[in-house]
Chain A
């Protein structure tokens, strides 16, 4: 019995000492500490991985160049595993245990919404990398929350503008039943009137479906002149293949959800001619040098591809802009939670990022307009810029 007692005492002393050691380690030297939560694992990992990579790379770059006005930047990177519960835990840890100045992320809408509640309650600025507009709307509830990805409505407007220029007025929609497809459909329905476009057939598929022939057959028998597909891989690729098999030849317009090489690899030659709205980071080589975002895009893209295997893609660009916005605030003397928020809201005007040019205001915590998107087309197995 005694032996056990001694072991227990030694163990508890050990635990106590390590706990003390941890606290002493945190330093006297000033650092700017910011937190980032991205979904490096789980179903959002295709989004979260480039975001996480980009963040770490940029922080290393900044510190190699002497930090922010001489003060080093410290990043606490966390992974929410694409789960709302984990995002909540990490958010609490970053804000209260790590005492970060601002939080970046996360990749998914549901997880970001859970974080929004905590950010608001603790009065910590948060810059999300999820698309949904409800993250920053209504403005009264989004005092502390910003986001860099284009809202879905912008992508929808871009698609409708394109259709208008092509002289198409009757369209069919085929959308995923997940959150992405759902908001897409909502926006497609809402703004159709502004562009004199009419949705004549509306079909939905489930994320796991592998064959959409029945929906396509219904669409084929309608008077639709083009098909709009709103979803993420692999659904839209299956649809492209199904259309080829059915011999449907109406134009296929996708969403920014398939702005990656994976889509083309999945769909094969059925992808040829498919048109989508996308951010510019899908093809940095195609962006003309006189483009406002060219410089930011070029250096980020080159550094990223040197250091990592994959391409940063649009998601990497959100990771870049999230971090650089907060860095911009820190550089200009906004070094506490309150002033970072104020800076982001009031001082970000014509700020050039990789996603677009931001103009934040108290009414708009996203700050992007339709020019942050371009149209792309699949040509010979690659995404290319579609000239206006």
Chain B
């Protein structure tokens, strides 16, 4: 069975190497910034991937936790002079707390109803960002958010922040893989396949669902923290329904049944945006609206032809390809 497999460390190692060398090979601030955003989105997408692929829960309000993480730290650092690292702890705590409260009220919901409830959550949180002016500064947003410091070194936008983001992303990937390959992961997959069967086998479905919901909220909160401290200012427009859909698209595109799916999906969506940008500079008729058309088209194709997502399909294609090559090679030797 798939789930019993141990963590593939070769995958992690090659991923780390690619990630480390990317800013050294690609010399360009634009690509590094795109890469940094991709890292932030990856963290949130992994959380959503765990929720969707392993527990079978759909959240359309992931931007709420992402936004709460960003706003918590932004408010604490700008209005109360907290250090960003202390802000991180609070970002995690507040998003987890929100997930806990929401988890209790949504515990009985599943399928479409849960999706609707999280959708509402996303919208409510966005309205709070806009309307709670005394704290959030309303639609104009908060500004003056400091960069985090590490060993007296200020982590500014660019290569330093890129490494911070991907360092945290790597940690998140490793932790998530351990969860997936643990007892919890197996329990979650059993819930995904059949909740009734799982609970009749003695799996406490409610507890596991709640745990993974909180974990995904924490990841979104961390992503929000990274986003806030990367930028000088944040405003509610970064945490709308569109952002939730973006996370969802990343997971669906890459494939929810694997941690790498979310990573793959995020990188792919970023790559599309970069490609459209590059093409737009040479051909004036390619505007940025093209990007959305491409997202939509690719997403539609994936849902129709590769419903498991691109990453799992890609892996099985690669496996088939290698094994067929081996076969043909051995045939040649024989003949």
How many positions in chain A have a CB within 8 Å of any CB in the partner chain? 33
State whether A113 touches B30 (Cβ < 8 A).
no
A269 at interface by CB-CB < 8 Å: no
Given A92, A109, A114, A116, which contacts B29 in the complex, CB threshold below 8 Å?
A92
Give per-residue flags for A124-143: 1 if the beta carbon is below 8 A from chain B beta carbons, else 0: 00000000101000000100
A97 at interface by CB-CB < 8 Å: yes
Give per-residue flags for B7-38: 1 if the beta carbon is below 8 A from chain A beta carbons, else 0: 00000000000000000000011101110010
State whether B233 touches A116 (Cβ < 8 A).
yes
Given B140, B144, B158, which contacts A92 in the complex, CB threshold below 8 Å?
B158
State whether B139 touches A177 (Cβ < 8 A).
yes
Whole-angstrom CA separation of A109 from B231 in the bound complex: 14
B170 at interface by CB-CB < 8 Å: no
B325 at interface by CB-CB < 8 Å: yes
Q: Which 4 A-B pairs have the closest CB atoms?
A: A117-B232, A96-B29, A93-B30, A179-B139
A169 at interface by CB-CB < 8 Å: no
Q: Please judge, given known A-B contacts A118-B157, A121-B157, A178-B139, whether A110 and B233 are in contact too, CB under 8 Å.
A: yes
A1 at interface by CB-CB < 8 Å: yes
Whole-angstrom CA separation of A93 from B131 in the bound complex: 34
With a cutoff of 8 Å between Cβ atoms, the chain B residues found around residue A95 in the complex are 29
Give per-residue flags for B229-242: 1 if the beta carbon is below 8 A from chain A beta carbons, else 0: 01111110110000
Given A79, A86, A110, which contacts B141 in the complex, CB threshold below 8 Å?
A110
* Nearest neighbor of A115 in chain B, beta-carbon distance: B232
Q: Could you jot down 18 A-B contacts, CB within 8 Å?
A: A79-B287, A88-B37, A88-B157, A92-B32, A92-B157, A96-B28, A96-B30, A97-B30, A109-B140, A110-B237, A117-B143, A117-B157, A117-B231, A118-B157, A118-B232, A179-B139, A182-B140, A183-B140
Give the secondary structure class of B's interface. helix
Q: Please judge, given known A-B contacts A1-B325, A113-B143, whether A41 and B289 are in contact too, CB under 8 Å.
A: yes
State whether B28 touches A93 (Cβ < 8 A).
yes
B115 at interface by CB-CB < 8 Å: no
With a cutoff of 8 Å between Cβ atoms, the chain A residues found around residue B238 in the complex are 84-85
Which A287-335 residues have C-beta < 8 A from chain B?
A: none
Q: Please judge, given known A-B contacts A1-B325, A121-B157, A183-B140, whether A110 and B231 are in contact too, CB under 8 Å.
A: no
Q: Please judge, given known A-B contacts A93-B30, A182-B133, whether A113 and B138 are in contact too, CB under 8 Å.
A: no
Given A182-B133, A182-B140; 4 other pairs, CB 8 A cutoff = A93-B30, A96-B30, A117-B232, A134-B143
Which interface residue of B139, B145, B234, B287 has the most chain A CB atoms within 10 A? B139
With a cutoff of 8 Å between Cβ atoms, the chain A residues found around residue B37 in the complex are 85, 88-89
Whole-angstrom CA separation of A81 from B157 in the bound complex: 21
Which B37-79 residues have C-beta < 8 A from chain A?
A: 37
A120 at interface by CB-CB < 8 Å: yes
How many pairs of A and B residues are in contact by the CB < 8 Å rule? 94
Which interface residue of B32, B131, B235 has the most chain A CB atoms within 10 A? B235
B329 at interface by CB-CB < 8 Å: yes
Q: Please judge, given known A-B contacts A117-B231, A141-B144, whether A93 and B29 are in contact too, CB under 8 Å.
A: yes
With a cutoff of 8 Å between Cβ atoms, the chain A residues found around residue B140 in the complex are 109-110, 113, 132, 134, 179, 182-183
Whole-angstrom CA separation of A79 from B235 in the bound complex: 19
B288 at interface by CB-CB < 8 Å: yes
How many positions in chain B have a CB within 8 Å of any CB in the partner chain? 33
* Nearest neighbor of B142 in chain A, beta-carbon distance: A113
Chain B residues with CB under 8 Å of chain A are: 28-30, 32-34, 37, 130-131, 133, 138-141, 143-145, 156-158, 230-235, 237-238, 287-289, 325, 329
Given A41, A121, A132, which contacts B287 in the complex, CB threshold below 8 Å?
A41
Whole-angstrom CA separation of A81 from B237 in the bound complex: 13
Which A65-100 residues have C-beta < 8 A from chain B?
A: 79, 81, 83-86, 88-90, 92-93, 95-97
* Nearest neighbor of B233 in chain A, beta-carbon distance: A113
* Nearest neighbor of B328 in chain A, beta-carbon distance: A1
Given A41, A84, A96, A177, which contacts B130 in the complex, CB threshold below 8 Å?
A177
**What is the distance, in angstroms, from A145's C-beta to the closest C-beta of chain B?**
11
Given B28, B29, B131, B145, which contacts A177 in the complex, CB threshold below 8 Å?
B131
Which interface residue of A109, A110, A132, A134 has the most chain B CB atoms within 10 A? A110
With a cutoff of 8 Å between Cβ atoms, the chain A residues found around residue B230 in the complex are 88
Q: Please judge, given known A-B contacts A92-B158, A178-B139, A182-B139, whether A114 and B288 are in contact too, CB under 8 Å.
A: no
* Nearest neighbor of A178 in chain B, beta-carbon distance: B139
* Nearest neighbor of B325 in chain A, beta-carbon distance: A1
With a cutoff of 8 Å between Cβ atoms, the chain A residues found around residue B138 in the complex are 179, 182
Given B29, B33, B157, B235, which contacts A113 in the complex, CB threshold below 8 Å?
B235
State whether A84 touches B237 (Cβ < 8 A).
yes
**What is the distance, in angstroms, from B250's C-beta to the closest C-beta of chain A?**
14
State whether B235 touches A89 (Cβ < 8 A).
no
Whole-angstrom CA separation of A1 from B321 in the bound complex: 10
With a cutoff of 8 Å between Cβ atoms, the chain A residues found around residue B33 in the complex are 88-89, 92-93
Whole-angstrom CA separation of A132 from B133 in the bound complex: 16
Q: Please judge, given known A-B contacts A113-B141, A132-B140, whether A88 and B231 are in contact too, CB under 8 Å.
A: yes
**What is the distance, in angstroms, from B192's C-beta to the closest C-beta of chain A?**
32
Whole-angstrom CA separation of A178 from B126 in the bound complex: 12
Which interface residue of A85, A88, A182 has the most chain B CB atoms within 10 A? A85
With a cutoff of 8 Å between Cβ atoms, the chain B residues found around residue A88 in the complex are 33, 37, 157, 230-231
State whether A97 touches B289 (Cβ < 8 A).
no
State whether B28 touches A97 (Cβ < 8 A).
yes
**What is the distance, in angstroms, from B233's C-beta to the closest C-beta of chain A?**
4
Which interface residue of A117, A177, A178, A183 has the most chain B CB atoms within 10 A? A117
Whole-angstrom CA separation of A114 from B145 in the bound complex: 10
* Nearest neighbor of B41 in chain A, beta-carbon distance: A85
